[in-house]
Structure 1
Amino acid sequence: MAMRGIGKKRANQTARARRRPGRPGGAGHTEAVREALLRAARELFAQRDFRAVSVRGIAARAKVNPALVHYHFGDKRGLYRAMLQQTLGPVLQRAQAFSESGSEPDLRELVGNIMRVLAQEPWVPRLIVREVLAEEGAFRDIFAREFAAKGGGRLPAILARERERGVVRQDLDLTLTALSIMSMTLFPFVAQPVVEQVFGLRIDDAFARRLAEHTVRLLFEGAGPRPRGGKRK
């Protein structure tokens, strides 16, 4: 019996030694677990700021072991970054393609994509207000470097290509034009409670499509009356 106990103990020690560092045992290392953690993080970060949300709280919401947060993302900050990347990544990749590829940029598509994400993921505008714009925002530098610079930061290059095509006027300051586009694109969603109360608008997918079309038309046609016979040039 004693020898059997020693053999079992050695087998357990060997199994633990073979296990990768930081990797909890069991069958929890699946994409489903990772998605559950991201979903739980979105729900909690939409309600509270970064410092008020704990790893244990996220794991409890996802119904998994807290060690899995560290295994999949390293730490809470890594999970936060992955959460943003999952949501904003496709839009940023499209912006990069427009600014670098030989294809014609499509500002209507780009602006529409950004607005649809903001309408479908209302936690993103709240995150921007709480963690980026606030004086002690925990993610200001990361958001500016890894997301804003790759999205809005590429707009001047996209506008430069539009200028070459004759779509954008030669006398426009492209940096200020990019800033104007970012302002018109983001503000209605960042200020959603005020916008809905003051203007009686409902911020949803239909609104995002309507606003994207309006923003592009306002940019390229202006607010003045059209000349007789058609659109502004």
Structure 2
Amino acid sequence: MANLSPGPLNLPPKRPDVRDALLQAASELIIERDTLEVALTDVAQRASVNSALIQYYFGNKDGFLLALLERDIGDAVRRMRILLASDGSALDKLTTHLSGLARAYHRVPYLNRLLRLISNAAEEEVFGELVRRLVDPMCSFYREVIAQGVAAGEFRQVDPVFLYFTVVGACDQLFSNRRLFNQLAAGGRTTDAALREFTDYLVKLVFDGIKMRA
């Protein structure tokens, strides 16, 4: 009797440009529609590829969203590590970081919503790994920069976890609520102008809280 079991699928090799195009398409649609509930068929259509490739590259929707989160936060984590190893003062490092963080949330305002969605659905072991790879590095950055600033007499001792929730929460609330901000803000400020003003405000707010007073 002939062997009727299916043979190996003749799948093309995975290409980074297709993977990146799918992630970028998802990011654009989430921002445009202001929701994480974006159909995978719409993502594939925006990326001009077959929707079956999402399963091929990411396994399922959960894997796809996790890859998007890793892409968006992973870049920030790499920049923090480079900044931490630089020769600047704690004041300079924190200023650079806060400016970059505000720009990151301006560019991808869904970051916290995506992190919460994945975290709430994850089992404990997966959640712990997610925190270790994507959240702990930021808290560690704050811990080391604060320690450097305290040693140099620039900063007083503050809790790095509280600092994390303060700055991330501020960025998330402003840029994920753009419609509300546009309604409340006087003068019809553009998003670029608001980004500059908010960055200056955030830096001053944080430094007023942690700088050593004479």
| TM-score (ref. length: structure 1) | 0.65
- Report what 1:80 is aligned to: 65
- TM-superposed CA distance for 1:49, in Å, is 5.0
Selected match of 1:108 from 95, 114, 124? 95
> Quick check: 2:102–2:171 contact (8 Å CA) kept in 1?
yes
How many residues in Structure 1 have an aligned counterpart in Structure 2? 194
- Tell me if 1:34 matches 2:31: no
Q: 1:167 to 1:203 in 2, by over 3 A?
A: farther
DSSP 3-state at the match of 1:24: coil
> Quick check: 1:152–1:178 contact (8 Å CA) kept in 2?
yes
Deviations 1:147-170 (A, max 9, x none): 333334632332222212221124
Identity of aligned residues (%): 24
Q: 1:89 to 1:55 in 2, by over 3 A?
A: same
- Report what 1:205 is aligned to: 192
| TM-score (ref. length: structure 2) | 0.70
- TM-superposed CA distance for 1:42, in Å, is 1.6
Gap regions ≥5 residues in structure 1: 1-15, 223-231
DSSP 3-state at the match of 2:135: helix
- TM-superposed CA distance for 1:77, in Å, is 2.2
Alignment of structure 1 residues 1-233 onto 2, 5 Å = 24-25=11-12, 29-46=14-31, 47=33, 50=36, 52-99=37-84, 101=85, 103-104=87-88, 105=90, 106-122=93-109, 124=110, 128-129=112-113, 131-133=114-116, 137-140=117-120, 144=131, 146-152=133-139, 154-170=141-157, 172-200=158-186, 202=189, 204-221=191-208, 233=214
- TM-superposed CA distance for 1:48, in Å, is 6.9
- Structure with higher Rg: it is 1
> Quick check: 1:108–1:212 contact (8 Å CA) kept in 2?
no
| Aligned amino acid, residue 72 of structure 2 | T
CA distance in 2, matches of 1:102, 1:109: 11
CA distance in 1, matches of 2:45, 2:160: 47
DSSP 3-state at the match of 1:166: coil
CA RMSD of aligned residues (A): 3.3
